[in-house]
């Protein structure tokens, strides 16, 4: 029998262990040979050294997952505790998540073109998105801006509006993309 202590760092214990240790109890069920005692940020583990090391590895994976996705659902825990726990943390679906809200809700790229917009924004400094109304161009762009703000890649977000009069031709500027850009710059200088 080996006895080890593990200290939870980087996140709050309630985020990792759950309210009234609900998540810890689910994890304990997967490690019945271990005796686990939780006190604040410290976990006291008693059992075979190999099983203790496996438990600590799973707790670290859960911490990494929470830090990456800002949430830890029962399904996520089951996947992490399974044989492919490392794959769950590195899951490619996570790349579709643009940003997490404060309540843990995920903002994801839902369509193929939204995913292309996210990928293009990662590869380029400036991306122009053209398409029909309601396809999520602005929504995706704002989510990318919020992600950049949260990651401290930018200090502030500046929202602008078209530099044309309101009416039937709102948003329409004649010519190709280069001419439209010059027209916007010219009209903004007149103000």
Q: Would you state the structure tokens that stand for residue 4, as one six-digit string?
A: 């080890």
Nearest 5 degrees, angle CA 114-CA 73-CA 110? 10
The predicted model gives 68-87 an average pLDDT of 77
Tell me the per-residue pLDDT of 35-76, one tens digit each, with 9 for 90 and over.
999 998 999 999 999 999 999 998 988 888 888 777 777 777
Domain covering 2-90: architecture = 2-Layer Sandwich (3.30)
The predicted model gives 74-103 an average pLDDT of 71
DSSP H helical ranges for the chain: 13-17, 22-30, 49-69, 74-81, 85-89, 112-123, 137-150, 177-190
pLDDT at 149: 87
Least confident of 89-93, 111-115, 130-134: 89-93
Q: Would you state the structure tokens that stand for residue 150, as one six-digit string?
A: 């949260």
pLDDT at 35: 92
Q: Are 102 and 136 in contact (CB under 8 A)?
A: no
How far is 114 from 134, CA to CA, in rounded Å?
12
The predicted model gives 109-114 an average pLDDT of 79
How far is 43 from 78, CA to CA, in rounded Å?
20
Beta bridge partners of 36: 45
Q: Is the pLDDT of residue 188 over 50?
A: no
Taking Cα atoms as reference points, which of 57, 45, 51, 49 lies closest to residue 85?
57
- Quick check: helix, strand or coil at residue 175? coil
How far is 64 from 72, CA to CA, in rounded Å?
10
* pTM summary value: 0.51
How far is 87 from 103, CA to CA, in rounded Å?
25
Domain boundaries, the chain: 2-90, 95-190
- Residue 30, judged by CB atoms within 10 A of its CB (0-12, 13-18, 19+), counts as middle
Q: Is the pLDDT of residue 191 over 70?
A: no
Tell me the per-residue pLDDT of 132-186, one tens digit each, with 9 for 90 and over.
888 888 888 888 988 888 888 889 988 876 665 555 554 555 555 555 555 444 4
């Amino acid at each position: 029998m080996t006895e080890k202590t593990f200290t939870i760092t980087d996140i709050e214990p309630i985020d990792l262990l759950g309210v009234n240790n609900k998540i810890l109890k689910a994890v304990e069920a997967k490690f019945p040979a271990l005796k686990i005692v939780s006190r604040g940020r410290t976990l006291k583990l008693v059992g075979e050294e190999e099983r203790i090391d496996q438990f600590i590895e799973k707790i670290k994976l859960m911490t990494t997952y929470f830090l990456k996705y800002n949430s830890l659902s029962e399904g996520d825990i089951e996947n992490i505790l399974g044989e492919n726990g490392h794959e769950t943390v590195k899951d490619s679906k996570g790349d579709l998540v643009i940003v997490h809200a404060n309540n843990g809700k995920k903002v994801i790229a839902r369509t193929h073109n939204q995913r292309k917009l996210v990928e293009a924004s990662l590869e380029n400094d400036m991306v122009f998105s053209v398409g029909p109304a309601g396809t999520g161009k602005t929504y995706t762009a704002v989510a990318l801006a919020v992600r950049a703000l949260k990651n401290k890649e930018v200090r502030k977000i500046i929202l602008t509006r078209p530099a044309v009069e309101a009416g039937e031709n709102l948003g329409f500027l004649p010519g190709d993309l280069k001419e439209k850009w010059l027209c916007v710059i010219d009209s903004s200088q007149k103000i």
